[in-house]
Amino acid sequence: MSHFLTPVLALIIWTLIIMVVMYKRRIPAMNAISKRTQDFIDDPKLGEKIPAPARWAADNYNHLHESPTIFYALMLTIFLMDKVTPLALYCAWGYVAIRVIHSIVQITSNNVLVRFSLFVLSAILLIIMALSTAAKLV
């Protein structure tokens, strides 16, 4: 399946979109507090003054560098081991869709219960992918 890694590219592009959203929110918010960015290092409490939507976007950008790293590694492992299956591809696209929805929730309402539920669903998909691939090895 030559298109198996397409969900990886999709999540990378989504992460870059969130990076742009983060900077569009964060830079003006920081400039409104202080024109000198070093002030945020010298006085970490200044970060608490950044409006919530700017913090939410930055938090989501960070989250897209946490559990998705497992997704990236798992996708490459499955591909390089030649263990690509329709189940893995469906799980991969499901994972990407859930991460996009998670981002939208976090950068808009930041509803923690919804975000947590989405996180759990995405983790279940990773577990299914990992275990079904491991089962093919035995």
Q: What is the mean pLDDT of residues 121-138?
A: 97
Whether the per-residue pLDDT at 135 is higher than 80: the answer is: yes
Cβ atoms 11, 68 nearer than 8 A = yes
Q: Each residue of 48-100: pLDDT tens digit?
A: 999 999 999 999 999 999 999 999 999 999 999 999 999 999 999 999 999 99
pLDDT of residue 2: 73
pLDDT of residue 1: 65
Please compute Rg for the chain using Cα positions: 18
Cα-to-chain-centroid distance, residue 72: 11
Q: Each residue of 17-35: pLDDT tens digit?
A: 999 999 999 999 999 999 9
Cα–Cα distances (Å) from 129 to 74, 84, 91, 93, in that order, read 8, 10, 7, 11
Query: What domains sit in the chain, N to C, each tagged with a CATH number?
Result: 6-135 (1.20.120.550)
CA angle 64–80–100, rounded 5-degree value? 20
